Structure 1
Amino acid sequence: MAKKNGVTVVNIGISDKDRKKIVEGLNHLLADTYTLYLKTHNFHWNVTGPMFNTLHLMFEAQYTELALAVDLIAERIRALGFPAPGTYREFAALSSIAEAEGVPTADEMIAQLVAGQEAVVRTARSIFPIVDDAHDEPTADLLTQRMQVHEKTAWMLRALLQ
């Protein structure tokens, strides 16, 4: 496989410079998504209280969806010719989502997950300018789909706090 300056040569109509910028954004999106996956899975295991069954099942559906999403994002990074980050250390350095401290109450869990869902939307939205400029429609489609899922999930979680 041909490489140029350590980057796999990919001739899909997007310059190396633009692919690199897009991947930098996708790396942050992958890290945020994986961190939110871990947080949601943690809360699934540790939630207690009168809404236990509802939240336990809801969190399971959410972390399952996130597990599939990380694969889609990582595969897009690979399709653009770059390695995907895949370690806790890399994700911690790239993510905008903080880990949970201790075991929060159910309401605190929900609030943290709302914040996490919204953070992923902001990260996805921040990538759009370079994606649009590069005419990278597959990445734009991925970002749009991710934003739809996270905005809807945040809305559903917020509804539980009202």
Structure 2
Amino acid sequence: MTTNAQAALIDSLNGLLADTFALYIKTKNFHWHVRGRQFHDLHLLFDTQATEIFALTDLIAERVRKQGGTTLTSPSAIAAKTQIKAQDDTGLDAMAMVKELAEDNDTYIAKIREVKAAAEEFGDNATSGIADDWTDQAEQRAWFLREILA
């Protein structure tokens, strides 16, 4: 039987999973479409960040399953739960891409903190602890992006 705290944690993790997929796709999109004087550096940075983000998907989904929940099952399920706004403009300026990804990583950090709070409410020390690692990774991504804008 699932408690309210457990259900809240599962829901929060699925929201983070949706945000992870959405942030991965957006970062990869920008990797494919960036151009301009900083093309080489941004192309490589976006690819590195996308790879790091994608690696989290399985870890987050497994946390959902370990709590007895089910994960997101389709692109529409991801779209319904994500807080990361879509960006379909392939002609976006490189610095606009950097700014948008920095802001998206800040949104992502806030979502991780929600997961951590839900994990602590439920008493899931493992998820709470790993959320700190996820936060550190996202803070580093956001920092790198903000430094480009400085």
TM-score, reference length from structure 2: 0.94
The structure having more radius of gyration, on CA atoms, is 1
Q: Distance in 2 between matches of 1:22 and 1:88?
A: 21
Q: Distance in 2 between matches of 1:148 and 1:67?
A: 16
1:24 is aligned to 11
1:11 is aligned to none
**Amino acid aligned to 1:89:** S
For the 8 Å contact 2:19–2:84, the answer to whether it is kept is yes
Residue 45 in structure 1 maps to residue 29 in structure 2: no
Q: Distance in 2 between matches of 1:156 and 1:102?
A: 23
Please list every run of at least 4 consecutive aligned residues from structure 1 whose deviation after the TM superposition is greater than 6 angstroms: none
Equivalent positions of 1:1-162 (< 5 A) are 16-103=3-90, 104-162=92-150
Unpaired runs of 5+ residues, structure 1, are 5-14
**Amino acid aligned to 2:63:** R
What do the CA deviations read for 1:46-87 (whole angstroms, capped 9, x no partner)? 100011110111111111111110111011111111111031
Aligned pairs, number? 149
Aligned identity (percent) is 32
For the 8 Å contact 2:117–2:128, the answer to whether it is kept is no
- Aligned to 2:108, the other structure's residue is in SS state helix
Unpaired runs of 5+ residues, structure 2, are none
For the 8 Å contact 2:61–2:71, the answer to whether it is kept is yes
Post-superposition offset of 1:101: 3.3
